[in-house]
Amino acid sequence: MSHWKWAASFGLAVLAVSPGLAQPADRYSAAGAPAAGPDARYCLRVEPVTGSRVERIRCWTRERWAGLGVDVDREWAKEGVRVIE
């Protein structure tokens, strides 16, 4: 019977913690993308090609992203990966 109590308490602990783990980390949401030089490349996740599950990451300058209609500061919280200087 002690195994059932342990399993039940473990299950309840997982249920109690899981909503907190499901929340996205908003470290960059207020600040936008990290500051870097004019030639820095900002790497963001982009949608994969239709029929593929492989996640694509593209690294371009702020100017190039802006030319594609992407606001790096706004998208960084959701899709940002790293900055290459």
> Closest by alpha carbon to 83, among 57, 48, 54?
57
Q: What's the pTM value of the predicted model, to 2 decimals?
A: 0.58
How far is it, in rounded angstroms, from Cα 78 to Cα 45?
Answer: 9
How far is it, in rounded angstroms, from Cα 43 to Cα 84?
Answer: 8
Domain spans in the chain, listed from the N-terminal domain onward: 37-85
Note the Cα 34 to chain centre separation in Å: 14
pLDDT tens digits, the chain, 85 residues: what are they?
A: 565 665 555 555 555 555 555 545 444 445 688 888 889 999 999 888 888 888 899 999 999 999 999 999 998 988 888 898 8
Burial of 22 (0-12, 13-18, 19+ CB in 10 A): exposed
